[in-house]
Amino acid sequence: MYLRNAWYMAGWDKDFPADLPQPLTLLDELLVFYRQADGRIAALEDRCCHRLAPLSQGRVEGNDLRCLYHGLKFDAAGRCNDMPGHTSIPKAMKVRSYPVLERYNAVWIWMGDPAKADESLLPDFVGYGSPDWYMAPGRMDYAANYQLIQDNLLDLSHIAWVHRNSFGGGNADTNKAWMEGELHITPLERGVRVERWMPNAATPAHQVAMAGPTCDVLTTFDYLVPGIFLLSSRNYRAGSAQRSGTARPTEEPLHASFTAQAVTPLTARSTCYFFTFGPWSQAAGDGEQMKQSFLALGRQVFEEDRTMLQAQQKVIDADPSRKMLFFDVDKAPVMYHRLVEKLLAAEAQA
């Protein structure tokens, strides 16, 4: 049901303070994260092998985590290295440990075969500390299966309806563009790329003097395994769309914004949604204020998604025998579904 050989975002780095083990359920598995003496992150299953007490109720001791039910202590690799009142420790006294990475202001965990954990498979996420964009860290939890969020992101035509008054600004032309614009959809090795030109969009106010009242916007996103969404929106001078065709213009855009999002399943019915969203750091204005206003817009818009997707989940659960009907507009979701099926089959075989 879940892809396992992939890096899942577990949280922002600041969510894992020193000395405080953090319980976290990911992909329906109980995990505990803690920082070792030198600050490096470690992740173990949150279940002492002795009496199945949660290690997250324990305490950090140096690089180790001690269970506070009967005092067994485990290192970051999950090996028991202290059993109070005993001199020899049975080999069976160990818990599962997981490969983890700290990158892009975030903590990432590899849920599959540790031997296959490959740092190069971590997508080029953009954290809140990026020098290129003004970004603040966002997070929302959805009471819905991760696939509903995934399919929602892979088909942005929903912006015309769900976000008609927020992203769409109540503008009929803008919403029509989201609904009807032609998409350029490309398979990637571990994802799908979707590009779309929206010509004649309103130029951002501070650029009008230089670029005229309308410009052409190129919106491009990659949706990557296991649920990383990377979208850039770039404003070019009017006419660029027609001139460029499917190629990306070589000149610098007038304006740009970016959003990086990570969809992490907690359980089959709850999903964590992490995001950054902000403008170019070259954009004029107060960076801190921009971070906060983009964060607020993100929250408003994703709240609209959440209302719809949670309602959708309830409809699905009321009769799980009913199947979705995918049609033209769903080309990107369908392409991604096939990729995931292929990867799941490969994992099952291994």
What is the contact surface with its own copies in residues (CB under 8 A)?
Answer: 25, 28, 30, 46-47, 49-54, 57, 67-71, 84-86, 90, 92-93, 151, 155, 157-158, 160-162, 179-180, 307-308, 311-312, 314-316, 318-319, 322, 324-325, 327-329
The least distance separating its own copies from the CB of residue 152, rounded to whole angstroms, comes to 9
The least distance separating its own copies from the CB of residue 183, rounded to whole angstroms, comes to 10
Task: Select from 79, 81, 125, 77 the least CA-distant residue to 99.
Answer: 77
Closer to its own copies by Cβ: residue 64 or 155: 155
The least distance separating its own copies from the CB of residue 254, rounded to whole angstroms, comes to 28
CB atoms within 10 A of CB 329: 14
The least distance separating its own copies from the CB of residue 347, rounded to whole angstroms, comes to 20
CA distance 265 to 286: 35
CB atoms within 10 A of CB 350: 10
The least distance separating its own copies from the CB of residue 23, rounded to whole angstroms, comes to 9
The beta strand positions in the chain, using DSSP E, are 7-12, 22-26, 29-35, 41-45, 59-61, 64-66, 73-74, 80-82, 97-98, 100-103, 106-110, 138-142, 184-188, 191-202, 214-224, 228-237, 255-267, 270-279
Closer to its own copies by Cβ: residue 210 or 324: 324
Closer to its own copies by Cβ: residue 90 or 213: 90
The label of the residue with tokens 């090795």 reads: 189
CA distance 12 to 18: 14
Closer to its own copies by Cβ: residue 103 or 331: 331
Closer to its own copies by Cβ: residue 49 or 295: 49
